[in-house]
Amino acid sequence: MHHLLLTLALAFGGAAPAPAQEPPAEERAGEVLVESYKDALKTWKQDYRLAFGREEREALDRRHPAVAFLSRFEARGEAGDGKALLWATRLVDDARRSAAERKALKRRSYTRLVAEYGGRPWFREVLLAVDEDRTDLGWETAADLLSQVAERGVTSGLRAEALWRWGGLLIDTEDPPQRAAGLAIWERLFAEHPRTVQGARARAEYDLEKHLGIGSVARDFEATDLQGRTFHLSDYRGQVVVLDFWGFWCPTCRRALPHLVRLAERHADEPFAILGVNSDTDLESVRSQVKGQHVTWRNAFDGGPKGPLARAWRVRSFPSVYVLDHEGRIRARNVHGEALDRKVADLLAELDEKP
């Protein structure tokens, strides 16, 4: 389940910094529903860990508690419970809805959250969620929502957070003008909010980002794979490499796995490799799940979403994908599906033409 559930659970406890105020009645009533869901999810996770084989796990996936609870959270959101609306954006990833339904719910919910709940003490979590759901929202929609808060957020802290995520979102695109616009937003951030965490982070990563741009030679790293063996990114020079920062906790990452399996099979006899950087926290669980999901490519274990490799590569959302050519240059970022297929095929064709 998405790691934001933990953060949202803290928000329900009032841990987010904000002026002391009594939560609305709708939100207080929604706490009961959240506790019920958390209990059901805990039981489901225990059953999933004990499940034997792929068929048992697939059956459990169909009975994920989000399937039964999502409509209840949606109803509470419609009744004015903003936190329930935010929870609904998380549950829909596991609720067996179609891709079109999932994306529509997220666009509808985030648009309303930004328009109506910007003054609530937990609203910072909306910015994190919008950033992490950029794939389902589409970067233009996500950028528009973040820009609204950057310009009109009710506190300087929210405006700084929105500038940080808005700039990073644009930087992560392949389009040079958008990347330049993202760097300009970061310049604005550390100029207008120099004493904030976000301003300091943008200043620290501004130069690093220039080493992660399209055409840059990727920095080498040393990592340990799931079998405990050490390797380096540079070991794969001479091959086209898809470097995928992902985790089983991330629903979007899980949905991408079948496509990556097909991509690996299609180019099995060519100078091509997928390298995963797994961001789960339980190594034994990862070892078990990769077998059931037919993940045959090498994976580094980073120990969590904020592991050392994720930090070094400025990963803020999952999955984050880099495509490297045979010389180790970054040729694409955050391409998925058919766009990823085309980029890999193009780079392999380039390599084949080399004398």
Note the pLDDT tens digit of each residue in 181-199: 999 999 999 999 999 999 9
Contact (CB, 8 A) for 107 and 137: yes
What is the predicted pLDDT for the residue at 20?
A: 42
CA–CA–CA angle 97, 125, 138 (5° rounding): 50
As given in the structure block, the two tokens for residue 104 are: 């529509």
- Per-residue confidence at 1, pLDDT binned at 50, 70, 90? very low
pLDDT for 251 beyond 50: yes
Average pLDDT, integer, range 90-113: 96
Nearest alpha-carbon partner for 112 in 101, 121, 123: 123
As given in the structure block, the two tokens for residue 112 are: 């309303």
CB atoms within 10 A of CB 97: 17
Residue burial 305-339, b: 16+ Cβ < 10 Å; e: rest: bebebbeebbbbbbbbbbbbbbebebbbbbbbeee
Residue type, 331: R
As given in the structure block, the two tokens for residue 277 are: 């950087």
Average pLDDT, integer, range 334-352: 93
- Total-model pTM: 0.65
Average pLDDT, integer, range 149-163: 96
As given in the structure block, the two tokens for residue 158 are: 């929210």
Q: What is the pLDDT of residues 5-31, one digit of tens each?
A: 444 433 443 444 444 456 677 677 788
Residue type, 222: E
Domains and CATH numbers, the chain: 1-12+22-132 (no CATH), 138-210 (no CATH), 222-352 (3.40.30.10)
Contact (CB, 8 A) for 139 and 165: no
The answer to whether the Cα torsion of 44, 85, 13, 194 is positive or negative is positive
